Amino acid sequence: MKLAGKTALVTGGSRGIGRAIVHALAKEGAKVAFTYNSNAEAANALVKELELDQREVFAIQADAADGAKAHELIDTVVEKWERIDILVNNAGIIKDGLLAAMSEENWLAVINTNLNSIYHYCHAAIRPMMSARKGRIINISSVAARYGNPGQVNYAAAKGGLEGFTRCLAKEVGRRGITVNAVAPGFIATDMTEAIVNAAGKEIQKQIAVRRLGEADDIANAVSFLASDESSYITGHVLTVDGGLTLGSGM
């Protein structure tokens, strides 16, 4: 129970990687709030599941791109639990397409959700963390930030910005006992990637050193470590969790 007594907020926590992160933090003893965008059924199911395991957790509907809501949610967590120790910025979307055919709407949707939300939630959480002189911020990036993928200029740009943000903020708040890190998943099998897995799963696995697709728990375990006191001397780091997908020349 390495997170006993800690409180956490996870954005986009009702499914996929976010759901696994909520599970991992709660399993280690943290009180966990998480956001969901539209799938109330999945969010409520997760709350009930964890409550049966005697974990303290609650879900809040929120659009990750809504800055006012971000500040409201941080205030809610601090009011309810008197502190916020851990912030995991996981919420994200994809709207892939080649740049020549990409609409401004799809560009902005991804930038607003995947990058601007990081600013909003960190901006809201940093003051109570600085007052407490401790905190853990973990931003979920992607190997696409470093290596790129055709059809993902919006996604890669957002994740690249997230990694630069992570390094700068780490330098700003380290002296106040706050660490800021990112986790960059490789190819993780989730409902978001199901179509790709069905079409090219075996070919993708051949490119991965450990010869398997990643699981959401692989990312959640890394986040759990970075959220703990065991990682107190790690900050400004982007931890790649991809099974060796990007070794050498990369993807």
Residues with catalytic roles:
155
How remote is the C-alpha of 163 from its chain's centroid?
12
Task: Name the DSSP class of 174.
Answer: G
- Neighbouring C-alpha atoms within 13 Å toward the C-beta of 222: 25
Nearest in space to 119 (alpha carbons), one of 172, 67, 61, 167 = 67
* Token couple for 125: 């959480």
User: What are the angstrom distances between the C-alpha of 112 and each of 150, 155, 159?
Assistant: 20, 11, 11
> Cα(236)–Cα(214) distance, rounded to whole angstroms?
24
Give the length of the chain.
251
* Residue with the two structure tokens 């943290």: 30
> Cα(208)–Cα(60) distance, rounded to whole angstroms?
36
> Cα(9)–Cα(34) distance, rounded to whole angstroms?
5
